[in-house]
Amino acid sequence: MPYPTDRERDRPWVMRTYAGHSSAKASNELYRRNLAKGQTGLSVAFDLPTQTGYDADHQLSKGEVGKVGVPIAHIGDMARLFDGIPLAEANTSMTINAPAMWLLALYVSVAEDQANAEGRPVDEVLAKLTGTTQNDIIKEYLSRGTYIFPPGPSLRLITDMIAWTVHHVPKWNPINICSYHLQEAGATPTQEVAYALCTAIAVLDAVRDSGQVEPGDMAKVVARISFFVNAGVRFVEEMSKMRAFTALWDEITRERYGVTDAKARRLRYGVQVNSLGLTEAQPENNVQRIVLEMLAVSLSRGARARAIQLPAWNEALGLPRPWDQQWALRMQQVLAFETDLLEYEDIFDGSHVIQAKVDEIMTGAREEIARVQDLGGAVAAVESGYMKSQLVTSLAEYRRGVENGERILVGVNKFDTTEPSPLQAEGAKAIETIDPAVEKEAVAALEEWRNQRDNDLVERSLEKLKLTAKTTDNLFEATLACARAGVTTGEWAGALREVFGEYRAPTGVSASAMTGSGNAELLRVRDRVKATGEEIGERLRILVGKPGLDGHSNGAEQVAVRARDVGFEVVYQGIRLTPEQIVAAAVQEGVHVVGLSVLSGSHLEVVPQVVDGLRAAGAGDVPVIVGGIIPPDDAKLLTDRGIARVFTPKDYELTDIMDGIVSLVRERHGLKES
């Protein structure tokens, strides 16, 4: 997106809608409709099996296929996803991380096929490809959880991909360093800026030191590094954050990497405004939240986003419908085309108030960057658990403010009286639902694909991939060969799992600071936990589990922290567990309650499996509770299946939840209510 160099009207940013579900065919139809409505870029949401390198028929994929995005298993799926959409003219953002190299190889292969079908030179088409692969694995270890490999091999995949794209797809952004999820995990503006820039330093150092890019080409690398940030509702602070971000990026790239071209040093970023701040209670309030958050990244011309995607008002309820996504797109279009926003120079230049806030964030970010570098850099700070524990502690402090009323959420902890909503009236079908048949169809299609491809070629390409992975050679060409041979997502990731191994990131729970220790209600519940344990004859134990592939662990971690604060012994093993693993841990640890967290929509499939497993193991008296984005009808189905309690985002008082859990344990053990 060109930047203006004079006082002419600024060009509108790229307008995206994060979308994809069910199948490549269904998602292609959705993309075409969105483009026809004036959307100027695509933003592909992949389902969790694709994001974590599994095929639809893997055990961990059960209940997850097509739920939070589109399943892409092979080049045939990628071709269907972009059928009728010329990739040389598209601007595509792909939210993909651990298997980013694989998905870009599929995308490039489809672009090559389109070029051949049109009789155009392949190099000419590849030179025109624009868009981004998120490809930020550091924040996956810290917040979103869709990592696969250990940090070292993961950084190698990123390095190889950047080196390949600089030489072959020069307009593509091979990495979109993503501070968005850091904010959702609790990062303050200072932490969000600092940790994102620490990731950028780790990546740029790795590319520079790999020898795959000539020193004189580092400016080309820097120019293709983009960022993806979060914008919260405190829009003055958020806008100041982006001005600080812009100044620090310019400073780092000039001083650390010697980039003299001012254009190459510009902070190029896209935005998804804060989905974490959307509420289940009075969800219509989310509309004004989204608009205010959009202002944070559009008001300041010198720090304006070049791509924006907005969530829909009902994302805290479930999957948005096409109409909801259209509403979010129209918000952007009204701001860009009806207002005079784009007609002026930066309206905040010269504001001493704004500059003071910018200076405050920059000073704090410099200090935190130095602290991380002293620890050995971003990778070392992930492996030690430092950054994760800082985020868990910050989020706990944020939640404390919500619970005690210091931080007001309209419709949640203040002004919570409401009229019936016509947007959620009976029969309105306020969210999109995914047909359970989608998963069966995906598994059947996968089997058919494997039967009709050249499996000898597949085996040879996978063997070549593994051999290359054992060297220091660039992995992208071997990955391209796998894509063209018809290898599946699970097979590509599985081959690299054999060489690199898998990784489980630190949870940050044990190292997080205790919050609210002097709170009277928390002390009362702590006394109940202690007394109940004494009556039962042992300390109360709770297992907090994340079944399936949902890696959004913020809620589970906060439950674990609060359970520890009120005196429970907490068993928390992190993300991506099978129901069988959760049952085994619950039985082995002799827990008194099992708490499950599911935000991906797979609750109806994976949660009952835990209940059935406990019964089969002779532990059917252990109550199971669940929290997540769970529609009311689904909540009733879960309670009918034996789930003791269901909590949703409207249940924000964690200490009250702990109190209810104590009562549940007492009830199951036949104790009188205390």
On whether the CB atoms of residues 84 and 28 are closer than 8 A, the answer is yes
Q: Cα(162)–Cα(148) distance, rounded to whole angstroms?
A: 19
On whether the CB atoms of residues 204 and 153 are closer than 8 A, the answer is no
pTM of the complete model = 0.86
Q: Cα(159)–Cα(161) distance, rounded to whole angstroms?
A: 5
- So what's the pLDDT on residue 600? 77
Q: Cα(320)–Cα(323) distance, rounded to whole angstroms?
A: 8
Q: What is the DSSP letter of 61?
A: G
Q: Cα(612)–Cα(642) distance, rounded to whole angstroms?
A: 9
Q: Which residues are marked as active site?
A: 18, 180-181, 546, 550, 552
Q: Where are the alpha helices (DSSP H) in 276-351?
A: 286-296, 322-337
Strand partners, 269: 227
Q: Cα(530)–Cα(550) distance, rounded to whole angstroms?
A: 33
Q: Cα(197)–Cα(489) distance, rounded to whole angstroms?
A: 30
Q: Which residues contact 656 (CB under 8 A, 6 or more apart)?
A: 521
- So what's the pLDDT on residue 507? 65
Q: Cα(270)–Cα(250) distance, rounded to whole angstroms?
A: 17
Q: Cα(561)–Cα(535) distance, rounded to whole angstroms?
A: 24
Which candidate, 107, 56, 4, places its Cα nearest to that of 445? Answer: 56
Q: Which residues contact 61 (CB under 8 A, 6 or more apart)?
A: 48, 49, 54, 55, 439, 549
- So what's the pLDDT on residue 505? 67
Q: Where are the alpha helices (DSSP H) in 297-415?
A: 322-337, 352-374, 378-383, 386-403
Residue type, 6: D
- So what's the pLDDT on residue 3? 41
Q: What is the DSSP letter of 143?
A: I
Q: Cα(112)–Cα(168) distance, rounded to whole angstroms?
A: 12
Which two tokens mark 112? 């090559």
Q: Is 403 helix (H, G, I), strand (E, B) or coil?
A: helix
Which domains does the chain possess? 14-133+451-504 (no CATH), 180-211+225-413 (3.20.20.240), 520-669 (3.40.50.280)
Which two tokens mark 544? 């907090």
Which two tokens mark 123? 């190099």
Region for residue 410 given its phi and psi (left: phi exceeds 0; alpha: psi -120 to 50; beta: otherwise): beta
Residue 285 neighbours by CB distance under 10 Å: 18
Q: Which residues contact 491 (CB under 8 A, 6 or more apart)?
A: 55, 458, 462, 482
User: Chain centroid to CA 98: how far?
Assistant: 12
Which two tokens mark 639? 């309670």
- So what's the pLDDT on residue 575? 82
Per-run averaged pLDDT (10 residues), the chain, 674 residues: 53 87 92 90 93 94 90 97 95 95 98 96 95 93 89 95 95 94 90 96 95 91 94 92 95 95 93 84 92 92 90 85 90 94 92 96 97 95 90 86 87 86 71 80 95 97 98 97 98 97 72 60 92 93 90 83 92 86 93 90 87 93 91 89 89 90 92 80
Q: Is 167 helix (H, G, I), strand (E, B) or coil?
A: helix
Q: H/E/C letters for each residue in 554-580?
A: HHHHHHHHHHHHCCCEEEECCCCECHH
Residues in the chain: 674
Q: Cα(192)–Cα(187) distance, rounded to whole angstroms?
A: 5
The upper half-sphere exposure of residue 205, i.e. CA atoms within 13 Å in the direction of its Cβ, equals 13
Q: Is 320 helix (H, G, I), strand (E, B) or coil?
A: coil
Which two tokens mark 372? 């991380």
Q: Which residues of 517-541 are buried (b: 16+ CB within 10 A; e: fewer)?
A: eebebbeebbebbeebbeeeeeebb
Q: Cα(553)–Cα(572) distance, rounded to whole angstroms?
A: 11
Strand partners, 130: 91
Tell me how many helices (H) and strands (E) the chain has. 26, 15
Q: Cα(573)–Cα(570) distance, rounded to whole angstroms?
A: 10
Q: Which residues contact 557 (CB under 8 A, 6 or more apart)?
A: 392, 395, 507, 508, 509, 512, 572
Name residue, tokens 């020193």.
215
Burial of 631 (0-12, 13-18, 19+ CB in 10 A): middle
- So what's the pLDDT on residue 7? 53
Which candidate, 288, 279, 248, places its Cα nearest to that of 266? Answer: 248
- So what's the pLDDT on residue 445? 95
CA–CA distance from 437 to each of 73, 488, 578, 612 (Å)? 17, 21, 21, 23
- So what's the pLDDT on residue 495? 97
